Amino acid sequence: MKKTISKWLSIVLPILLGVYLIIYKYNEFTPAQIIEMKGYFKNADYFYIYLSLFIALFGFLSRAYRWKFSIEHMGYQSKFHNNFMAVCIAYFMNLTIPRSGEISRALVLKKYEEIPFDKAFGTIVAERVVDFLIFLLFVFIAFFVQFNLLKNYILAKIPVEKLFVLFIIGVVGFILFILIWMYSNWKIILKLKEKFSGLTEGMMSILKMKNKWAFLFHSFFIWFSYLLMFYVTIFALKETSGIGFGAVIIGFVFGSLAIGFTNSGFGAYPLLVAEIFMLYGIPDTAGTAFGWLVWTSQTALMIILGGLSFIFLPILNRNK
């Protein structure tokens, strides 16, 4: 019963959050602004939207190809088309339950390649560790390039006194966490230690694998394709076409955060991207329209590729 409730909450709560953010943002606009936004959608240059989706496809292919290196390191083989369709299904599933895609990827290989679930899932954990580290690199670059702008933005939103209080609370909380981590026998802490051990093992397996440089190349290529597909979409609207690299990478980072913490960014992605773009003089209506153009097109691609993968997986694996 608890598992069922937890499962439904993991689906419903992110969707409700997305709906709330959409309604919240919609109520901020006047009727004239809504008409203005419709004009952005009507007059957008969709060539750049289609180009971004074409670039995204290379990211999907690269992720599927990268997977074979960690699978081979575990002593197994898998067909590329199964890897690719498993990746597409994973993106599709993440639209429903956050992070359910990792489980679905492992299940696909278990069914069609007879690779044990725990082994396949272990390779995905290793990938996620690398992806997280590369994302942190993007975060560092973004904050380094736009430090003064972000500093002024934060100070405008939160007074210095409150920032100091938050800093003290953060330091105390961090010290308490370290002490609890080191000495506590709580079940939740023990489970977290077990998961952390798995992450460490996954990371170490990458350093030991035969094709680690090819694996790392594809890891960076995947994130480069993410950034490039975001970049080309700025030319879809006249209002966003003139922004510089700083705005692009900050928008990309915050958009990625929205995708990571909700159902692939539902509701949150356009809001956060618009908020960032306003720092660079882009009207809220244009930034919101841009966010919806990017999010909707990417989501449509994931639904199409995921749906086709569900259809073709059993067809291409009839003998299994």
- Tell whether the model's pLDDT for residue 152 goes beyond 80: no
CA distance 267 to 16: 9
pLDDT given for residue 127 in this prediction:
87
Rounded mean pLDDT of the chain? 83
Q: In this structure, are residues 265 and 258 in contact, taking their beta carbons and an 8 Å threshold? A: yes
CA distance 128 to 228: 20
Neighbour count for residue 175 (Cβ, 10 Å): 10
pLDDT digits (tens, 9 = 90+) for 190-236: 776 666 665 565 566 677 778 888 999 999 999 999 999 999 999 99
- In 3D space, the residue among 88, 98, 82 whose CA is nearest the CA of residue 13 turns out to be 98
29: tokens are 């606009």
| Torsion sign across C-alpha atoms 252, 257, 263, 269 | negative
pLDDT digits (tens, 9 = 90+) for 271-311: 889 988 988 889 999 999 999 999 999 999 999 999 999 99
The confidence band for 183, taking pLDDT boundaries of 50, 70 and 90, is: confident
- Tell whether the model's pLDDT for residue 140 goes beyond 60: yes
Q: What is the mean pLDDT of residues 156-181?
A: 75
The confidence band for 33, taking pLDDT boundaries of 50, 70 and 90, is: confident
pLDDT given for residue 204 in this prediction:
66
pLDDT given for residue 205 in this prediction:
65
